Amino acid sequence: MTMATEAPARAEVGAETAVKIRGLRFGWTRKDVLKGVDLDVQVGEIMALVGANGAGKSTLLSLLCGAEPYRPFWRRPKGVIVDVLGLDPVRNGHELRSKIGYVPDRTELPKWMKIRDHFRLVKALHPRWEDREAARFLERFGLNESMRYADLSKGQRMLENVTAALAVRPPLLLLDEPFSGLDPVARRLVTDGLIEHMCENRASVLLVSHSIADVERCADRVALFAGGRVAEVASVDELRGRSEHGDLEDALVAVALDGRAA
C-alpha cells in the first residue's frame, strides 16, 4: 500500500445541490423506519451520516440509488421531494444508477470470481468507467486484478468495492461503512482517495460510518440520525466546538441523546 502523509487539499463546496430530500418516509411494514427525513448534500462536499444502529442510515442510501425493491412500501404524498442528481430514484432508477458509485455494507460475489471479472460487470453498467483509475487505486490499496474474491479478506473486499466505485468517476458516491474491516493505513488511504475524487471530479460523497476518526478526517458536514429523522446537520468544526475538550465523538453522543429524548 502507498501511504499518504497529509490529507489532499480540499476543494471549495459549491452552491448546487446534489441530493435534496424533503419529508421522506419509508417502512417495510406499517411502521416507518424513516419518519420524515429532510437533507441536502451540496455538490463538492463529503457528508457523513452518523447515528445508532438501526436508525435507517443504510436504508436511506439504498433508497437514494434505487437499490431496494421499495415501490410497494414507498410513501410519497404530495410535497415529498427525493431528488438525486436531478433525477427521481423511482422513475429514473436505471439512469441514476449509471451515475452513482454505490458501496453497500456487504457485497457477496461468487467465490470463483476475480477482481477483473467484477470490474467487467461494473464497467458494462457505467459509461464513465476509467481503467486507469481502477489500476491506480488497486495499486494504492495493494490489490491486483487477478486476485480471487474467495482469497480476499473482509477489508480487501471493501477496498475492492471502493476501487470499483471510484473508477466509475461518479458525480455522487454513496458509501455504507466504507472503513469497516480496514486497518489504520487502509482507512487513511480510503479517506484520502475520497477527498481526491471529490476534488478532481467536483463530486459529492454521502457516507455512513461509525468510525468517528475517519469522519473527522474527511467529512465537511455531519448529519446525525435519531428517531428516523435527521436530528441535526452541522460542520465538523461546529460540533467539535460544543465539546468541552473539542472531542467530536462527545459532541455527537450528546446530540444523539438529545434526539432520543425528544
Q: Where are the domains of the chain?
A: 17-261
Using DSSP's 3-state secondary structure scheme, residue 168 falls into coil
CA distance 159 to 153: 10
For 55, phi then psi, to 5°, come to -75, -15
For 23, phi then psi, to 5°, come to 70, 30
CA distance 179 to 251: 21
CA distance 135 to 219: 26
| Cell numbers found for residue 79 | 410535497
Residue 103: its pLDDT value, please? 93
Residue 79 in contact with residue 22, Cβ under 8 Å?
A: yes
Residue 104 in contact with residue 176, Cβ under 8 Å?
A: yes
pLDDT in tens, 87-104: 988 888 889 989 999 999
CA distance 209 to 50: 6
Highest mean pLDDT of the ranges 171-175, 214-218, 256-260: 171-175
Least confident span in 60-69, 113-122, 183-192, 198-207: 60-69
- CATH number for domain 17-261, candidates 3.10.20.70, 3.40.50.300, 2.40.50.180, 3.20.20.10: 3.40.50.300
Q: Which residues contact 68 (CB under 8 A, 6 or more apart)?
A: 59, 62
Could you tell me the pLDDT band of residue 84, with boundaries at 50, 70 and 90? Answer: very high
